[in-house]
Amino acid sequence: MNDFWSGVGVDLHLEPDGGEGRRSGLERALRDAVREGRLAPGSRLPATRRLAAETGISRNTVKAAYDQLVAEGYLTARQGSGTRVAALPTAAPDPLDAATRAREPRFDLRPGSPDVGTFPAAAWLRALRRAIATAPSLAYDYGDPRGRIELRTALSEYLGRARGVIAPPERIVVTSGYVQGLALLTRVLDGGRVAMEDPGLPFHREVVTRNGGTVTPAPVDEQGVRVAGLGDARAVVVTPAHQYPTGVTLAPGRRRALTAWARAHDALIVEDDYDGEFRYDRQPVGALQGMAPAQVAYLGTASKTLGPALRLGWMVLPPHLVDAVADAKLHSDHHTESIGQLALTELIASHAYDRHVRASRLRYRRRRDMLLERLGKRRGVRGIAAGLHALVDVGDEAATIARAEAEGLAVGGLGDHWHTPGAGPAQGLVVGYGTPRERVYPQALDVLVKVLGGG
């Protein structure tokens, strides 16, 4: 008997035991496939005539096997809808899963994500259709590890226009996101000391260490990262437009000092421009890369503007790093998926991407203003000129977070972001206003006010 059946409307893989007899072997093979989940509830099975023709088993034998499994409750048969896999009784719910669900917050004000409910699905679908309709056949083959030239060309224009980045297409490498870009750069640097902002995101520190780098803290104050302590680091990772998590913008003097340090030490500045498009109180601050394109590796993504699920990011690299990073990308995942790249190209070229960013900027500004209205007179709120989060001053961070959890509210804590957790000189709540849906955001703020003792 052939293990793989074709021409019956569906493909099945069964291994009946011929020693049991044809009917018994077919029954056992189907029964095991249902029990093990290889045939999912609702799956349609081949008609008896077609299955008999494909397997060389008589139609009556196949029908008898189907009837037996219907009687046992494994299959269902209805006139006009054929034979399908029945829905078997589910196991009792896992008490651990139930406990996990019970701990999920009612309101989520943690930082790090945009409002994915506003993803421009209609515009993306139009762009995807145009991309597929015009894509050359080679777009479905293995691609350039640097990414599709169409997207690199579109990004060159957009980044230069919107972020002040000097980005020739040949110096752009498309990635699956910021994390992959940071990992690739760490590998290309072949270890060495990497300075990272303190406070900063712990996960990014782990990315560097797991890829062979040695992380050292680079303290941040009200003007951004302090350059004096960088010393002989091979690289420094910074968020100059809107520092995460303090929200400060790298001051002009610090920008000049940082680029001068990189030139003097032949070091690399890794610029994480994670939410640079979202500026509220003045014109967007241009990317640091425009000041020193030979010293700065600029990293951006669509995660904060569109959504993390797309897994599309980009690096604009100094000329001497392009080949090494492309080679590392080749041996990491060969290339980033192509169809999404072409869809993003269409979105940028049609200016639908710009329109979505502008609409998001207005929406997030309204949320930022609502946060300030509720909290601004009660306590200090910092880092509010840009981005998707603010830093709220508190006296006892641990106790405040515990009260928030008791009220079903999730927020971030500044203490977790120090290189030595909890040992930093300041405490605070890192409050994100991108994640909640529009209708629940005011309710989340009501709970936050209550937790902070304002109502």
Report the CATH number that the domain containing residue 393 is assigned in CATH.
3.90.1150.10
Q: Phi and psi for 257 in degrees, rounded to 5?
A: -65, -40
User: Are 111 and 157 found together in one domain?
Assistant: no
Question: Any residues with CB less than 8 A from the CB of 53 and at least 6 apart, and which?
Answer: none
Q: How far is CA 97 from CA 100, 258, 409, 436, in A?
A: 5, 48, 20, 23
Is the confidence at residue 18, as pLDDT, over 80? no
Q: What is the pTM of this model?
A: 0.83
Q: What is the pLDDT of residue 339?
A: 96
User: For residue 227, what is the DSSP state?
Assistant: S
Helix (H, G, I), strand (E, B) or coil at 381: strand
Q: How far is CA 453 from CA 404, 407, 423, in A?
A: 11, 13, 25
User: Are 195 and 167 found together in one domain?
Assistant: yes
User: Are 152 and 274 found together in one domain?
Assistant: yes
CA distance 292 to 224: 18
User: Are 284 and 418 found together in one domain?
Assistant: no
Q: Find, among 26, 28, 14, 31, the residue nearest to 63 by Cα.
A: 26
Is the confidence at residue 117, as pLDDT, over 70? yes
**Confidence band of 4 (pLDDT split at 50, 70, 90):** very low
The pLDDT of 82-111, averaged and rounded, is 72
Q: By the 8 A CB rule, do 269 and 288 touch?
A: yes
Is the pLDDT higher at 157 or at 40? 157
At 80, which CATH number? 1.10.10.10
Q: Please count the other Cβ atoms lying within 10 Å of the Cβ belonging to residue 155.
A: 23
Last residue of a domain, one of 312, 330, 350: 350
First to last CA, the chain: 74
User: Are 224 and 125 found together in one domain?
Assistant: yes
**Tokens at 297, concatenated:** 């590796």
Q: Dihedral, CA atoms, 327, 330, 331, 334, nearest 10 degrees?
A: 180
Last residue of a domain, one of 350, 383, 412: 350
Residue 408 belongs to some domain of the structure? yes
Q: How far is CA 140 from CA 132, 344, 426, in A?
A: 10, 16, 51
What pLDDT, in 10s, does the model give residues 342-354? Answer: 999 999 999 999 9
Residue 9 belongs to some domain of the structure? no
User: Are 62 and 40 found together in one domain?
Assistant: yes
Is the pLDDT higher at 82 or at 264? 264
Is the confidence at residue 3, as pLDDT, over 50? no
User: Are 385 and 342 found together in one domain?
Assistant: no
**Confidence band of 8 (pLDDT split at 50, 70, 90):** very low
Residue 100 belongs to some domain of the structure? no
User: Are 76 and 211 found together in one domain?
Assistant: no
User: Are 369 and 338 found together in one domain?
Assistant: no
Last residue of a domain, one of 323, 350, 377: 350
Least confident of 118-132, 155-169, 432-446: 432-446
Quote the strand ranges of 258-304, DSSP E.
268-272, 296-301
- In the block, residue with structure tokens 């290339």: 335
Is the confidence at residue 42, as pLDDT, over 70? yes
Residue 288 belongs to some domain of the structure? yes
What pLDDT, in 10s, does the model give residues 317-362? Answer: 999 999 999 999 999 999 999 999 999 999 999 999 999 999 999 9
Q: Find, among 405, 368, 194, 181, the residue nearest to 280 by Cα.
A: 368
Is the confidence at residue 248, as pLDDT, over 90? yes
Residue 98 belongs to some domain of the structure? no
The pLDDT of 309-320, averaged and rounded, is 97
Q: Please count the other Cβ atoms lying within 10 Å of the Cβ belonging to residue 97.
A: 9
The verdict on whether omega for the bond into residue 245 sits within 30 degrees of 0, i.e. cis, is yes
User: Are 366 and 303 found together in one domain?
Assistant: no
Residue 10 belongs to some domain of the structure? no
The pLDDT of 100-104, averaged and rounded, is 60
User: Are 267 and 312 found together in one domain?
Assistant: yes
- In the block, residue with structure tokens 């078997």: 88
Q: How far is CA 189 from CA 10, 52, 292, in A?
A: 50, 62, 19
Residue 97 belongs to some domain of the structure? no
Residue 8 belongs to some domain of the structure? no
Exposed, middle or buried: residue 105 (CB in 10 Å: 0-12, 13-18, 19+)? Answer: middle
User: Are 374 and 442 found together in one domain?
Assistant: yes
Print the domain residue range for 294. Answer: 120-350
At 209, which CATH number? 3.40.640.10
Q: What's the total number of domains in the chain?
A: 3
User: For residue 152, what is the DSSP state?
Assistant: H
Tally of CA atoms within 13 A in the half-sphere of 422 that contains its CB: 3
**Confidence band of 190 (pLDDT split at 50, 70, 90):** confident
Percent of the chain with pLDDT over 70: 91
CA distance 83 to 338: 39
